[in-house]
């Protein structure tokens, strides 16, 4: 039960933060959803750091890792919104914007995870 509450609490905070960032940044560019992009990239960086610390040592407990990675990062990042935005670009015939946004999100997301893992090793 404690683990469920940790995921619930972390996910709630992450979801609120995601909502605020998306609300404030998604309207900057016509065919690039900056808010969704930012939360997903920041989430990749954070999960790299969190899981890097978790794997590296006993710096984070199992419950702290669950709260931060599954809870917070799970609530903060959003694959479903990412996929919906891709669908809307395809439906509008914006193949170039679809391709750029999709490839950029995936490549920079993987790089952000690698940077997060690297940061966790350095600290």
| Residue 77 φ/ψ region, left for φ over 0, alpha for ψ in the -120 to 50 degree band, beta for the rest | beta
Is 77 annotated as contributing to ligand binding?
yes
pLDDT at 30 > cutoff 90 = no
Query: Do 96 and 31 meet the contact criterion of CB atoms below 8 Å apart?
Result: no
Closest to 32 measured CA to CA, from 93, 85, 103: 85
pLDDT at 42 > cutoff 90 = yes
For the ranges 1-10, 28-37, 98-107, which has the lowest average pLDDT?
Answer: 28-37
* Residue 57: pLDDT band with limits 50, 70, 90: confident
pLDDT in tens, 109-121: 999 999 999 999 9
- Read off the pLDDT of each residue in 63-79 and give the average, rounded to a whole number: 97
Closest to 72 measured CA to CA, from 38, 43, 115, 48: 43
Please measure the distance between the N-terminal and C-terminal CA atoms of the chain and give it in whole angstroms. 32
Q: What is the pTM of this model?
A: 0.93
DSSP class of 26: T
pLDDT score at 86: 96
Say how far residue 72 (Cα) sits from the centre of its chain. 9
Domain boundaries, the chain: 34-122
CA distance 100 to 97: 5
Closest to 63 measured CA to CA, from 123, 120, 121, 7: 7
């Amino acid at each position: 039960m404690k683990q469920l509450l940790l995921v619930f609490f972390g996910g709630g905070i992450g979801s609120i933060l995601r909502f605020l960032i998306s609300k404030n940044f998604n309207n900057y560019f016509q065919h690039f959803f900056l808010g969704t992009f930012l939360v997903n990239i920041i989430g990749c960086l954070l999960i790299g750091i969190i899981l890097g610390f978790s794997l590296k040592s006993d710096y984070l407990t199992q419950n702290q890792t669950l709260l931060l990675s599954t809870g917070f990062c799970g609530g903060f990042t959003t694959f479903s919104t990412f996929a919906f935005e891709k669908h809307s670009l395809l439906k509008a015939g914006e193949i170039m914007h679809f391709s750029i946004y999709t490839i950029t999100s995936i490549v920079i997301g993987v790089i952000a995870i690698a940077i997060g893992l690297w940061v966790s090793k350095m600290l």
